[in-house]
Amino acid sequence: GENAQPIITCYGCGEKGHIKANCPRRLEVVPIIYKFPDVFPEDFPGLPPPRQVEFEIELVPRAAPVARTPYRLAPSEMKELAKQLQELSDKGFIRPSSSLWGAPVLFVKKKDESFCLCIDYRELNKLTIKNRYPLPRIEAKRS
């Protein structure tokens, strides 16, 4: 109904009921720290540090979740998708999700013949409230 409260979901662990800044898992071990110990201090608190503002995408009122049908991929693209998703998962950049939102993926061939994984967020973009403010004048920035 109209009085329904939004469900708060943590962008860090994906669990409901808290935000990333208050996530109980925030201090868990981050694997990349052990790969490059000379770059990170021993008392490293976690990634990223808490911020005063939690990032959210503002949606138009009463926007319903959109889950587009995946694009058909050739067998070679499916193999590449599995490989890239595994790499991203191994690095901790992605995790399994049961979100009601979904966007199809496609590949764009780069100059070096490798494939760039792209996500088609056009349907989500149609539901977002855009930031609208005037661009600063260049003359004002120079002084």
Which sequence spans correspond to the domains of the chain? 1-56, 60-143
Instruction: For residue 93, give both structure tokens.
Output: 């950049």
State how far the Cα of 24 lies from the Cα of 22, in Å rounded to an integer. Answer: 6
| Identity of residue 108 | V
State how far the Cα of 59 lies from the Cα of 126, in Å rounded to an integer. Answer: 9
| pLDDT tens, per residue, the chain with 143 residues | 555 556 777 766 777 777 776 776 665 556 676 677 777 666 544 445 566 777 788 999 999 999 999 999 999 999 999 999 998 888 777 888 899 999 999 999 888 888 899 999 999 999 999 888 787 777 777 66
pLDDT for position 37: 72
pLDDT for position 44: 43
pTM score: 0.55
Q: Taking a C-beta distance cutoff of 8 angstroms, is the pair 20, 26 a contact? A: yes
Instruction: For residue 26, give both structure tokens.
Output: 């925030």
Instruction: For residue 74, give both structure tokens.
Output: 């050739």
CATH architecture of 60-143: Roll (3.10)
